[in-house]
Amino acid sequence: MSNLIPPHGGKGLVCCLLEGAELEAEKKKAEGLPKLNISSRAKGDLIMMGIGGFSPLDGFMTKADWKGVCENFLMADGTFWPIPVTLDASADDAAKINVGDEIALYYPKRDEIMATMKVTEKYEMTEEDKKFECEKVFMGEGTPTAEEFWKIAKDDHPGVQMVMQQGEFNLAGPVKVLSEAEYPTEYPGIYQRPAESRAIFEERGWKEIAAMQLRNPMHRSHEYLCKIAVEVCDGCFIHSLIGNLKPGDIPADVRVKCIDALVKNYFVEDKVVQGGYPLDMRYAGPREGLLHATFRQNYGCSRMIIGRDHAGVGDFYGMFEAQTIFDKIPCPTEEGKALLCTPLKIDWTFYCYKCDGMASLRTCPHDKADRVLLSGTMLRKMLSEGGELPDHFGRDEVVAILREYYEGLTEKVEVKLHGAATGN
């Protein structure tokens, strides 16, 4: 009997990835099916459904699921889910596909069929439908009215841009996943299936595990959050996004090197596990914090570290909105349908010269001038411009890795600062 938190949805790990003879037969069959080109986001979603990371999902959402998730965080069957997982198609492509058809989901960048799908529903996504999704999923306290939101979101919010650029239809239906793409070979030992992380936690005898979400290089504040988690849980799962980011973000292989250096030099190694997952960022702030907790439950984590501006972009979200949203979500009573992974809420953390160490707004009585305010965005901006970092901003080993990366860039992307990055 496992001591770990059960997977979300009450059905165990729902894995759509085929293996062995079944996989080879489906690959052969897929070659003869009509092909639909899919996005990088859909590729990541498919892999997560394949390995059980999106349990209990076994395919792309119906219109009822999509609407329920947008409106009240619940799929049509009453299971909690925070962000739509949908597959879009252009009007031309959708016109060639009928309900009941089987299709092959093709990812052009790799020239690979990622999955097959049985189409059970085809529904139109009008401009108003897309705007509805954006306002429900991406609009936060930073832009309290829809009018204010749309003034800036269409140009400055990558998640909104992604939704608005989608095709005119969504296709729903169960999938059979045929590939994990590049992740097993490019990130051996980092990329993990939920069954693998669960096996590691079981082997170590852990029960309470906190997940640390990373999309930026690990600076002193991240390190401090993980160490707080180690103090109150059995261990910490440092879990990095290794899918696509927005331009200017630091690639996964560089971030993994930084984490390796930190774990080796500044952690008790048997208290942390490093892993990676294959999703693209949606930049949905509070809603994405909920998604992070949902799939971390599948990976075996009972707590989700939620700090300042979790999964945010620009100034679209309140500083701690990703914490308070956990107090507002529905809690279905039917077994398995509620989110069980709970937030480990930690205040804004920083290095304080007067405290002579890491501290937070809850523990430090000193002024802003005495603090080194840490953010991944600020770190990227200063390094990309060749600037000097303040003392105690990052560990020397990590800064050296990042400087080497930035010195090797031939093209640089301007990094915009926002309120959460500057302390305003």
Tokens of 241: 């996004």
C-alpha distances out from residue 297 to 70, 85, 199, Å: 21, 17, 14
Question: Please, what's the largest Cα pairwise distance for the chain?
Answer: 68
Look-up: residue for tokens 């920083």? 350
259 within 8 A of 238, measured Cβ to Cβ = yes
Catalytic member of 170, 216, 282, 298 = 216
**SS3 (DSSP) at 149:** helix
| C-alpha–C-alpha distance, residues 375 and 421, integer Å | 5
Catalytic member of 41, 193, 198, 215 = 215
Alpha-carbon dihedral sign for residues 418, 420, 422, 424? positive
What's the burial of 58, exposed, middle or buried (CB within 10 Å: 0-12/13-18/19+)?
middle
CA-based radius of gyration for the chain: 21
| C-alpha–C-alpha distance, residues 234 and 210, integer Å | 8
15 within 8 A of 51, measured Cβ to Cβ = yes
C-alpha distances out from residue 397 to 219, 245, 394, 401, Å: 11, 24, 8, 7
Has 3 been annotated as catalytic? no
Tokens of 255: 């971030």
Peptide bond into 56 cis (omega under 30): yes
Measured in residues, the chain has a length of 424
| C-alpha–C-alpha distance, residues 24 and 31, integer Å | 11
Has 303 been annotated as catalytic? no
173 has which bridge partners?
A: 60
The residues annotated as belonging to the active site are 215-216
